[in-house]
Amino acid sequence: QQQVKQSPQSLIVQKGGIPIINCAYENTAFDYFPWYQQFPGKGPALLIAIRPDVSEKKEGRFTISFNKSAKQFSLHIMDSQPGDSATYFCAAGDNYGQNFVFGPGTRLSVLP
Partner 1 sequence: EAGVAQSPRYKIIEKRQSVAFWCNPISGHATLYWYQQILGQGPKLLIQFQNNGVVDDSQLPKDRFSAERLKGVDSTLKIQPAKLEDSAVYLCASSLDIGAVSTEAFFGQGTRLTVV
Residues in contact with partner 1 by the rule CB under 8 A: 4, 6, 32, 34, 36, 41-46, 49, 89, 91, 93, 95-105
- Residue 77 pairs in a beta bridge with 62
Minimum distance of partner 1 from residue 62's CB (angstroms): 15
Minimum distance of partner 1 from residue 72's CB (angstroms): 17
- DSSP letters along 43-104, please? --EEEEEE-TT-SEEEETTEEEEEETTTTEEEEEETT--GGG-EEEEEEEB-TTS-S-EE--
Q: Which is nearer to partner 1, 61 or 96 (CB)?
A: 96
Q: Which is nearer to partner 1, 1 or 98 (CB)?
A: 98
CA distances from 77 to 14, 39, 47, 107 (A): 12, 16, 11, 13
Minimum distance of partner 1 from residue 47's CB (angstroms): 11
Q: Which is nearer to partner 1, 18 or 46 (CB)?
A: 46
Minimum distance of partner 1 from residue 16's CB (angstroms): 28
